[in-house]
Structure 1
Amino acid sequence: MLTERPAVILVTGIMASGKSTVAQLLSERFEKSVHLRGDIFRRMIVNNRKEVQPNAGKDEMDQLRLRYRLAAQCADAYYQAGFTVVVQDVVIGPMLNDFISSIQSRPFYVVVLCPDSSVVAKREAARLKKGYGAWTVEGLDNVLRNETPRIGMWVDSSELTPDETVIEILTRLQDEALLR
């Protein structure tokens, strides 16, 4: 268990890339920690929730920005209370820069899980929770690889178990994931 000073760590990637499992295992490595699931803010909307789909419009993007803003504010509040916060959400494409600018706390680390799309497709097929509908694995993976700024540490976890992925993250965190 790590006992260093508090930090904020964003774990992002496409759906079924292993974010939830890895973020939970990573947060368990810290003495005082929070696993903040950004999607909770989307699911809290009871009426008129807008799902982000390919070619999303203004309303969908506004709700996505609200979700990111709420996650950032919540992460900062937990950080100020002395927690290491592992934020887990799909934050890809140009909006990664927006999310990063919303986090005020430092140190702040960005970890992007980027397993091969064929591995993601197998994981998606094997899980009960289904994330893909209007989006395809290949379509979302294309946004990740071709539209997301190369910020932080990118981890190809295709051949790694969740525990091995956490070890890889912790080994490379200081050198590759820290935003300055």
Structure 2
Amino acid sequence: MTNNNQIASNSKNERGIFLITGIMAAGKSTIAQLLSERLEKSVHVRGDVFRKMIVNGRVEMSGTPSLEALEQLRLRYKLSAKVSDEYYQSGFNVVLQDVIIGPMLQEMVEYIQNRPLFVIVLTPRPEIVAAREASRQKKGYGAIDIPSLENVLQTETPKIGMWIDSSNLSPEETVDVILRRVFSEAKIE
């Protein structure tokens, strides 16, 4: 039984893995948390946790990442996928969020073994992202600039799943859009 704050995964109560991506400050963490709160028996997997676990030897991404930075990023994605698969196999709806853009989005889809998998790409306009980033206490961009990330998102990221321009939507409205459209537009086979 569901109420206004909670919604079944779909009409058949089918579980799924919901992958939410976009560039930094696109709203991934907020949307993933709100979505997971509205799904029955759910978990929110934050991919960045695996980056933060590296105490010594962490190599950050940059505009021209080193091979080691890319390998650490792939490791982070593989760990996120494995954790998501384990939660899913234990009966949970999984909402996984991370910055996964460019060709690596297809790699991530392949790392996740369980289905159904739903890919949701948040695409607020760059000026909205810039305003969000400016209002953050902890800045996420460092050496990577918004226009460069936006370019990778728009020109190098496979057009799979459901893409949502959330520029003019509140977080709650964004989740409403996701729940209305996800089962028909975001499913990856």
Q: TM-score range by the shorter chain?
A: over 0.9
Tell me which of 130, 140, 154 is aligned to 1:145: 154
Structure 1 residue aligned with 2:33: 24
Tell me which of 27, 31, 52 is aligned to 2:61: 52
Q: 1:71-86 to 2 correspondence within 5 Å?
A: 71-86=80-95
Quote the Cα distance in structure 2 between the aligned partners of 1:142 and 1:118: 14
Query: 1:155: how far off?
Result: 0.2
Quick check: 1:65 aligned with 2:74? Answer: yes
Quote the Cα distance in structure 2 between the aligned partners of 1:150 and 1:166: 20
Quick check: 1:154 aligned with 2:163? Answer: yes
The percentage of counterpart residues that share the same residue type is: 56
Structure 1 residue aligned with 2:3: none
Quote the Cα distance in structure 1 between the aligned partners of 2:94 and 2:48: 15
Quote the Cα distance in structure 1 between the aligned partners of 2:151 and 2:139: 19
Kindly report the root-mean-square deviation, in angstroms, between the aligned alpha carbons of the 2 structures: 0.7
Aligned partner of residue 28 in structure 1, secondary structure? helix
Aligned partner of residue 39 in structure 2, secondary structure? coil
Quote the Cα distance in structure 1 between the aligned partners of 2:112 and 2:25: 25
Quote the Cα distance in structure 2 between the aligned partners of 1:128 and 1:20: 15
Gaps of at least 5 residues in structure 1 are none
Quick check: 1:33 aligned with 2:29? Answer: no
Aligned partner of residue 120 in structure 2, secondary structure? strand
Counterpart amino acid of residue 7 in structure 2: L
Quote the Cα distance in structure 1 between the aligned partners of 2:100 and 2:43: 18
Quote the Cα distance in structure 1 between the aligned partners of 2:114 and 2:56: 32
Q: Deviations over 1:17-46 (max 9, x none)?
A: 000000000000112000000000000000
Gaps of at least 5 residues in structure 2 are 1-5
- Equivalences, count: 180
Aligned partner of residue 41 in structure 1, secondary structure? helix
TM-score (norm 2): 0.94
